[in-house]
A and B are shown apart, each in its own frame.
Chain A
C-alpha cells in the first residue's frame, strides 16, 4: 500500500487550496458562533466571519495561544454543546493548569485517518503488528496511534508505557513489526534489550514511529542501530490533535502535514509575520475540520520551517522540518540562544559517555547565568587515573563551547543515574529566578 488516502495525499495545489479555503470559511464561522473567547478576539479587531473568504485571508485572523486555553479551563474553548463531545484529552504543563481538549466522534475519526495515513507512510499495512508503547490515557499518544492502527487494520497491541521487560517479551513473542513510542523510551527499550542479552536479529521490528519530544539526528541513528529499524518522525500536539498532525515518509525530507485537516503557517516569533518557504520560525496551525474544539492560528511554540515542493514519495502534502526545539524551551544563557537539541548533538558524538542520558541545569550566580550539563560516563571509558577522566570532561567542555558559543560546566556522573522516563523526559532544570 503506497497511500492510505491517495486522493488527498497527492492532490494538486489548486485543489488543496480550494478545499482549505472552503473549510477555513466554515471553521471560522463555527468557532465565532460557538466559542465566546474567539468571538471576543475577532470583535476586538472588528473582524467578521464573512470577511474571511478563503485561505488567502488567514493572516487577518487573530492568533490563539495556550494562555487562551488556560483562561478558559476546562471546557470554555469548546465550540459545540457538551452533548456533542465524545472524549476529552489533557496535556500537563510544567507550569499552570492542564490544557484540555474536547473531541466529537467525527474528530476522533479524522484523527484516526491521520494516523492510518502516517502508518502507511512508514510502510505499514494490514499485515503489520503495531506495538503501541505511548502512554494511554489523558495523553494523546497511545490512543492516537491505537485508533490509526485499528483503522488501517494492523494488529494493534495496546501495551501503553512502563514495565519495559514485559514490553520486550511482548515485542519479541508477538513478532511486532512496528514500534510506536517516544524516542527516549525507544532508547530505553533498546538498552534493556542489550542488557538482557537478547540478539536484536531475533526480533521482527522493522519500523519505529517516534514523536512527542524533540530528538536529534544522532539519537535517531542510535535508536535505528540498537533496534535494527528505520525510524520515522511523527508530530502532533494535543491542542491540534494528537500524533499524526504530520509524519515523515521514506524519503526523510521533513514531515508531510495532513494539511486538509491542519493548515500550517510559519511566523517570525517576534514580529508574528509569515515568513517564506524554507525559513525557520514558529509553527502555527488552524484546525480546518475540527468540531469539538477548533483552534484558529494556534501558536505551537515549536520551531520548524515549511517546504511546498513535491516530494519523491509522490505526496503533494506540504512538508515541515523536524521540530528542532521550542520557542519556550530555548534557553538564553548570557544572551546566547541555546537549544537542548544542539547540546544533544554534541553529546551523541562523544563515545566515552552515554550520550542519550543527560540533564541540563541552569542557574544564576550573582548576575551571571551558569549552565551545568550532567552526563553519564560510559563504563568502558573509566580509568583509575584522574588525568584520563579529566581529559574526557575537558574535551566535552571544549566541544560544547565550540558548538554553543557559550560555556557549560560538564559534570560526569555514574551510568544509569540520570532519569530517562517512559514518557517525556525532563532534561532541563532552570533554577534562575528572573
Chain B
C-alpha cells in the first residue's frame, strides 16, 4: 500500500521542532508517525498524520517549507527476523531504499514505511 507523507524542512535552531508540533496540535492534527533525519545544519521531519492536507496547510501557515510524497508501507509481524525477510526480497532484486522508518502497532503487527525510486517493482515484489 502507498502511504502519503509530509516532509518538513527544519532549521537547526532552538524551538523549531516545538513550533512545528504546536502548529499541528493547534490545527487538531494527530501524528501517526514522526521521523527526523538530521545533519549538522538542518533536519528533515517526516510525518504521517490522520489528515495530511490539514497538516500541510497548518505548517505552511506557520512559515514551514513542506514537500508531499508517497512511501511504500508494509505490515510485518512484530517478531525477530520478519523485516529481514521482507526487505531481503527487495535487496535481492536490486531495488534501492532511500530511507526506512517504522512504527509499532498494536495487534502484533508493525508498519514499515520506506522511500524508493521504484515504487511499482517494490510493491510487486512484496505482494
A393 to B44, CA, bound (A): 14
A377 within 8 A of B: yes
**Is B39 a contact partner of A386 (Cβ separation < 8 A)?**
yes
Residues of B within 8 A of A383 (CB): 7, 67
**For residues 54 through 86 of chain A, which have their beta carbon under 8 Å from a beta carbon of chain B?**
none
Residues of B within 8 A of A413 (CB): 11
B81 within 8 A of A: no
**Is B65 a contact partner of A382 (Cβ separation < 8 A)?**
yes
CB-contact partner of B42 in A385, A389, A417, under 8 A: A389
Q: Total interface residues on B, using CB and 8 Å?
A: 20
Nearest CB of A to B91, in Å: 19
CB-contact partner of A377 in B12, B39, B65, under 8 A: B65
CB contact under 8 A between A411 and B41, given known A377-B9, A417-B11: yes
Nearest CB of A to B55, in Å: 14
A387 to B37, CA, bound (A): 11
In the complex, the chain B residue whose C-beta lies closest to that of A383 is B67
A412 within 8 A of B: yes
**For residues 53 through 102 of chain B, which have their beta carbon under 8 Å from a beta carbon of chain A?**
63-67, 69, 98-99
**Is A415 a contact partner of B44 (Cβ separation < 8 A)?**
no
Residues of A within 8 A of B41 (CB): 393, 411-412
For the complex, would chain A's binding face be called helix, strand, loop or mixed by DSSP majority? mixed
CB-contact partner of B65 in A385, A386, A393, A414, under 8 A: A414
Encoded as 1 (CB less than 8 Å from any B CB) or 0, chain A from 244 to 272 comes to 00000000000000000000000000000
A417 to B67, CA, bound (A): 18
CB contact under 8 A between A385 and B11, given known A390-B39, A412-B41, A414-B63: no
CB contact under 8 A between A386 and B63, given known A413-B11, A414-B9: no
For the complex, would chain B's binding face be called helix, strand, loop or mixed by DSSP majority? strand
**Is B39 a contact partner of A382 (Cβ separation < 8 A)?**
no
**Is B11 a contact partner of A382 (Cβ separation < 8 A)?**
no
**For residues 187 through 241 of chain A, which have their beta carbon under 8 Å from a beta carbon of chain B?**
none
A275 to B65, CA, bound (A): 50
CB-contact partner of A386 in B12, B37, B66, under 8 A: B37
Encoded as 1 (CB less than 8 Å from any B CB) or 0, chain A from 364 to 378 comes to 000000000000010
**Is A384 a contact partner of B65 (Cβ separation < 8 A)?**
no
**Is A417 a contact partner of B63 (Cβ separation < 8 A)?**
yes
**For residues 109 through 134 of chain A, which have their beta carbon under 8 Å from a beta carbon of chain B?**
none
Chain A CB within 10 A, most for which of B37, B41, B46, B99: B41
Encoded as 1 (CB less than 8 Å from any A CB) or 0, chain B from 37 to 49 comes to 1010110101000
CB contact under 8 A between A384 and B7, given known A389-B44, A412-B42: yes
A-B contacts, 29 listed (Cβ < 8 Å): A377-B9, A377-B65, A379-B66, A382-B7, A382-B67, A383-B7, A383-B67, A384-B5, A384-B7, A384-B44, A384-B115, A385-B44, A385-B98, A385-B115, A387-B98, A389-B42, A389-B44, A390-B39, A411-B12, A411-B41, A412-B11, A412-B42, A413-B11, A414-B9, A414-B11, A414-B64, A415-B65, A416-B63, A417-B11
Interface positions of B (Cβ within 8 A of A): 5, 7, 9, 11-12, 37, 39, 41-42, 44, 46, 63-67, 69, 98-99, 115
Query: Apart from A385-B44, A414-B65, A415-B65, what 19 extra A-B contacts exist at CB < 8 Å?
Result: A377-B9, A379-B66, A382-B7, A382-B65, A384-B5, A384-B44, A384-B69, A385-B98, A385-B99, A386-B37, A386-B44, A390-B39, A411-B42, A412-B9, A412-B11, A412-B41, A414-B9, A414-B63, A414-B64
